Amino acid sequence: MADTVLPFGLAMTAHRQPLGFTYGEDVTGPMPEIRRLDQIRASLRDPDCDGPEDVYAIAMDVARLQDREELKKRMLLFGVVTYAAGKLGDEPIRSQGHIHRISEHSGWSPPELYEIWQGKAIIYMQEFVADDPGRCFAVIAGPGEKVLVPPGWGHATISADPLQPLTFGAWCDREYGFEYEAVRAHKGLAWYPLLQDNQIIWQHNTHYTPGRLQAITPRQYHEFGLTEAPIYQQFIDDPARFQFISRPDKTAALWQNFHP
């Protein structure tokens, strides 16, 4: 598949072979980290499955040059991820299940706001990574749609179309960190996505208490002041808009009984 110029507010191009990004003249970002199949096997239903050796590329702290100091001041960070095409055995291409490490500056496990740029995504999330996972959701999203993962929830990002690789951007806490141990101890998250005739079906992970999975579409999150504009453009328009990402404690009431 050809390289893709991304139309969501940052001058970037996503590459397929090899996986990675090229930044425009006014955009800065790191060399992407490549997550390889051997690194994520512990989170898969079939750890011995076949699939692309390079599963996805992730670049954290991507920004316009003129925004870098403002982002540091607000403890915000923008990340971009692009996936390989294909599948992982009978599972779709996907990230590892994880929760976010508690940030020292806020004392909270930070939320994360996704925006799909290319392909079809399922953002899977569950309230807890204990034996009882609590509420479980699969949020199905396409280009331009946004999905908010609340503080402390286990989650993974799934490419729902094996023929159209997934690319997305996300607002994160600058002290971001991923914790995998609890998920790996349960052999993954509470529900495994499986590909059947290029459609996603779900299989319960028996290492968790049986429960229900709710498949939903994204909503607007008006209570957090979000608009339909690209999420990086929303930061340009109002740099204070995403303080609920780096300081979720300031909007504690909005996280109670949160529904994705």
- Whether residue 227 is contained in a domain is answered as yes
pLDDT tens for the chain, residues 1 to 260: 457 767 788 999 999 889 999 999 999 999 999 999 999 898 888 999 999 999 999 999 999 999 999 999 999 999 999 999 999 999 999 998 999 999 999 999 999 999 999 999 999 999 999 999 999 999 999 999 999 999 999 999 999 999 899 999 999 999 999 999 999 999 999 999 999 988 999 999 999 999 999 999 999 999 999 999 999 999 999 999 999 999 999 999 999 999 99
Interatomic CA distance for residues 32 and 57, integer angstroms: 6
**φ, ψ at 254 (rounded to 5°):** -75, -20
Give the domain range for residue 54: 4-255
CATH number at residue 146: 2.60.120.10
Q: Within the chain, what is the greatest distance between any pair of CA atoms? A: 51
- Whether residue 22 is contained in a domain is answered as yes
- Whether residue 148 is contained in a domain is answered as yes
- Whether residue 216 is contained in a domain is answered as yes
- Whether residue 260 is contained in a domain is answered as no
210 burial level (CB within 10 Å; 0-12, 13-18, 19+): exposed
240 burial level (CB within 10 Å; 0-12, 13-18, 19+): exposed
| Tokens matching residue 57 | 């590329």
Check: pTM over 0.85? Answer yes or no: yes
Q: Taking the CA of residue 118 as centre, how many other CA atoms within 13 Å lie in the half-sphere pointing to its CB?
A: 25
| Tokens matching residue 213 | 């999975």
Under a CB-based contact definition with an 8 Å cutoff, are residues 154 and 73 in contact? no
Interatomic CA distance for residues 206 and 65, integer angstroms: 47
Interatomic CA distance for residues 20 and 3, integer angstroms: 10
Interatomic CA distance for residues 191 and 201, integer angstroms: 10
**φ, ψ at 141 (rounded to 5°):** -135, 145
- Whether residue 177 is contained in a domain is answered as yes
CA angle 131, 256, 127 (to 5 degrees): 20
Under a CB-based contact definition with an 8 Å cutoff, are residues 237 and 229 in contact? yes
- Whether residue 162 is contained in a domain is answered as yes
Amino acid making up residue 12: M
